């Protein structure tokens, strides 16, 4: 039953009708392919597309990461120190590195995270290609190969070289020894996600092998600018949000249609930016979830409801953490991680998939793996921090 205060409010301030505040939604056309392509999560290729990363000023280690890479290159020339970039998944590290390619001296080899590397036999040909060699019998032999001229090698997602199990660090240790043996002739730029960095720093002091830099989250202004750049050429119409308070509806009822749209726009971007939390990938998927269709060059946007994960059993949290640590895992790898555990990792992974918390990534070397859904990235990370007492920033 309604309490007395609510009853009085309804009598004195009746709730405005939706049809008086929001125009009827027309029959919308689907978002055209070229439009959705603008909001692809594929890495940006040009420096001009990496908004907020190209500044010359570097203050307190934040922003201007293209300049950070240039400075790290100069440090390598003088001291042979490799660079480790760590950052949150989806924050734009691959885009940053793609944009940095024209700034780095040739030859540059970009070892993207597209193939599985689970043993020395798989790592050796990858590094042989990176060194410009025809063949090598072992990593030790390859380390003595002279590439002819100093080169740049970008190795993406180094966390794929370990699996959290007995003996699971051996391959990563081999790679670190190889980097150290070749650091005078190769400028190594290695990336890692923030959760793996936190774990491996505690486990094997990973950062001691590099000059490590954090790829920061983007500011609200830069996130908004990146979204608006992608939406160029389309006007915006804001529909009734999924959640709308009585007080806000009262405010909207006192505005003319133009002012109402301006207010809805401000409210929409406030929710988008809060959800993104500086992560451009989360901003993009929020926009696509909100875009209901187009009509005559106008994209119609409806702020989606955000449902946060609540209580999660400990066994599911442990599987989630394993996925966070490795960026992505296959069913077989989850079974290997939990081989000596009473938990059935495969069944738990299936359960997380059914909730939408994980999603299938592009297969690597023909094997399907699963990673955290960006839609739940911050919320699930917060659960791990609070429930498992992780101190990751």
**pLDDT (average), residues 302-313:** 87
Ordered by start, the domain boundaries in the chain are 14-40+219-301, 53-214, 314-387
| CATH fit for domain 314-387, picks 1.20.140.10, 1.10.3720.10, 3.40.50.300, 1.10.10.10 | 1.10.10.10
**pLDDT (average), residues 22-26:** 75
Residue 206's closest CA among 241, 158, 168, 250? 158
- The pLDDT mean for the chain works out to 87
Task: Please say if the pLDDT value at position 52 is more than 60.
Answer: no
Q: What is the pLDDT of residue 362?
A: 85
Q: What is the pLDDT of residue 27?
A: 85
CA 325 to chain centre: 14
Model confidence band, residue 279 (pLDDT cutoffs 50, 70, 90): very high
Q: So what CATH class is 53-214?
A: alpha beta
Cis amide linkage into residue 311, ω under 30° from 0: no
Q: What is the pLDDT of residue 193?
A: 95
Task: Please say if the pLDDT value at position 140 is more than 90.
Answer: yes
Q: What is the pLDDT of residue 15?
A: 66
Model confidence band, residue 57 (pLDDT cutoffs 50, 70, 90): very low
The answer to whether 241 and 22 are in contact (CB under 8 A) is no
Model confidence band, residue 200 (pLDDT cutoffs 50, 70, 90): very high
* Helices and strands of the chain, counted as H and E runs: 17, 10
Tens digit of each residue's pLDDT (9 = 90 or more) over 215-230:
988 999 999 999 999 9
Model confidence band, residue 308 (pLDDT cutoffs 50, 70, 90): confident
pTM here is 0.88
The answer to whether 130 and 153 are in contact (CB under 8 A) is yes
Task: Please say if the pLDDT value at position 59 is more than 50.
Answer: no
DSSP symbol at 26: P
Task: Please say if the pLDDT value at position 97 is more than 60.
Answer: yes
């Amino acid at each position: 039953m309604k309490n007395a205060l609510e009853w009085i409010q309804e009598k004195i301030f009746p709730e405005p009708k939706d049809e008086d505040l929001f125009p009827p939604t027309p029959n919308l056309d689907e978002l055209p392919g070229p439009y959705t392509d603008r909001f692809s999560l594929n890495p940006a290729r040009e420096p001009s597309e990496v908004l907020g990363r190209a500044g010359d000023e570097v203050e307190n280690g934040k922003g201007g990461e293209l300049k950070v890479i240039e400075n790290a290159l100069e440090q390598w020339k003088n001291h042979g120190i490799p660079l480790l970039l760590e950052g949150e998944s989806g924050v734009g590290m691959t885009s940053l590195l793609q944009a940095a390619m024209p700034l780095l001296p040739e030859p540059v080899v970009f070892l993207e995270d597209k193939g599985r590397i689970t043993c020395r036999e798989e790592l050796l040909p990858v590094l042989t290609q990176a060194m410009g060699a025809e063949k090598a019998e072992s990593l030790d032999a390859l380390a003595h190969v002279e590439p002819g001229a100093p080169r740049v090698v970008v190795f993406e997602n180094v966390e794929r070289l370990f699996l959290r199990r007995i003996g699971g660090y051996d391959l990563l240790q081999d790679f670190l020894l190889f980097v150290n043996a070749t650091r005078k002739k190769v400028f190594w730029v290695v990336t890692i996600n923030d959760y793996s960095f936190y774990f491996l720093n505690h486990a094997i002091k990973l950062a001691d092998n590099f000059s490590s830099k954090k790829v920061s989250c983007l500011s609200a202004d830069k996130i908004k600018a990146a979204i608006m750049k992608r939406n160029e050429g389309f006007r915006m119409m804001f529909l009734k949000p999924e959640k709308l308070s009585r007080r806000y509806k009262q405010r909207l009822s006192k505005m003319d249609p133009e002012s109402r749209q301006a207010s809805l726009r401000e409210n929409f971007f406030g929710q988008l930016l809060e959800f993104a939390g500086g992560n451009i990938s989360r901003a993009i998927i929020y926009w696509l979830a909100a875009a209901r269709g187009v009509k005559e060059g106008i994209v119609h946007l409806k702020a989606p409801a955000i449902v946060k994960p609540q209580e999660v059993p400990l066994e599911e949290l442990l599987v989630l953490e394993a996925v966070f640590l490795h960026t992505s895992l296959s069913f077989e790898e989850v079974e290997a991680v939990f081989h000596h555990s009473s938990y059935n990792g495969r069944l738990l992974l299936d359960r997380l998939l059914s909730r939408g918390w994980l999603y299938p990534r592009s297969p690597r070397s023909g094997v399907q793996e699963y990673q955290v859904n960006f839609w739940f990235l911050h919320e699930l990370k917060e659960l791990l921090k609070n429930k498992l007492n992780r101190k990751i920033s």
